Amino acid sequence: MPIARTADRKKGSERADLERGVVVTVSQALRHARIDAPVDTIRVQREPFAANGARAEAFAQGTRFAKERLWHVRSASPNPSQAH
């Protein structure tokens, strides 16, 4: 039986497209912050990376950001010691 879609739930292809756009945004933010270390991977998700963590939306209250704009981000550099 298929799971009913809600306003916050997206199809896999929609979510993948959205995540790709967020990765581009993170790359631009790093560039604007003049963080020029090479980045191998950028991973974004709304769910926490740790089992005991909170969804990204939980951090919106009390900020100027809409909950839909917040993401958990993990990035990896090939050799962090060479960061400039």
How many structural domains is the chain composed of?
1
Domain annotation covers residue 1 = no
pLDDT at 24: 96
Domain annotation covers residue 19 = yes
Domain annotation covers residue 6 = no
Digit-coded pLDDT (tens) for 39-70: 999 999 999 999 999 999 999 999 999 999 99
Domain annotation covers residue 17 = yes
Phi, psi of 44 (to 5 degrees): -125, 145
**Residue 78, domain extent:** 12-82
Domain annotation covers residue 42 = yes
Domain annotation covers residue 71 = yes
pLDDT at 51: 93
| DSSP 8-state symbol, 4 | P
Domain annotation covers residue 16 = yes
Domain annotation covers residue 73 = yes
How many angstroms separate the CA atoms of 13 and 34, rounded?
32
